[in-house]
Amino acid sequence: GLESAVFPPAPFRIDVATFKQGSDMLSERGGLGAVILPDNRGVLVVGGKDNDWEYLASTELFDLDSETFSPGPEMGSRRNGCAAAVLEDGQVLVVGGTDGPDTLSTTEVLSPASNTWSFGPNMTSTRVGCAAVPLSTNKILIIGGKRDFSSMAALSYLSTTEIVDLASGISTPGPAMSCPRYCCSAVILQDGRVLVIGGGSNLESSLSTTEVIDLTSRTSSPGPEMTTARLGAAAVLLPEEGGVLVIGGEKIVGTDLATTEV
């Protein structure tokens, strides 16, 4: 009989896939961070703000089997506009953001063993709206952002990067980019270089340019230009050398995009 048979999961086919209404989170959240946890442990959602502009230290865990959210461990700081990255060993690093009055240079690390947060290495700069890309078991590249969330001054927008090292407990400067990039997106390419996409270098406009960070040579060089300027877009690396999919964002602040490009 088939009572003990084990069937492989059906492959996901995007050409026949459809969307359905998902479960509501426990809190309203904008400006949040989110990562997929390894070992099928679900999706962790961190920080953000609610509709009353209350900045959040809470987290939530989305269970892939039940498709429901449950409370996660509370962070040590409220963080709106933070960035998050998951490391090979399952640790989650959350960096920067704003707690309301201040823009943060602090980081926090979630241990998968204890399921608790502890403060990690401080960044060399306060950052909100930055990007974070894991480089190895212990190192994360932090890219761009703004030095002061409430400031509209051009000097607040950051072209700098830095590498947070959890093993040594320090953060050191990384390669400088050609221009400031606030609310940019970034993906690590198959060859280990990092593609940084769009963002904004001032209040009035967003960028269609990209650049490629090479950590071996510690340089940044121009990448392919997008057809549309995008701030706050999402980007994912497609499998089997399929390129990078860039999704949505804002062309001008307050003008959201429904378009994508590869």
pLDDT string in tens for the chain (262-residue length)? 444 444 455 565 656 677 788 889 999 999 999 999 988 889 999 999 999 999 999 999 999 899 999 999 999 999 999 999 999 889 999 999 999 999 999 999 999 999 999 999 999 999 999 999 999 889 999 999 999 988 777 789 999 999 999 999 999 999 999 999 999 999 999 999 999 999 999 877 799 999 999 999 999 999 999 999 999 999 988 887 778 999 898 887 778 878 889 8
Q: What are phi and psi of 154, to 5 degrees?
A: -60, -35
Identify residue 131 by its one-letter amino acid code. A
Question: Are the C-beta atoms of 228 and 210 separated by less than 8 Å?
Answer: no
Structure tokens given for 232: 């706050």
Both ends of the chain: CA-CA distance in Å?
Answer: 48
CA distance linking residue 47 with residue 77, whole number of Å: 9
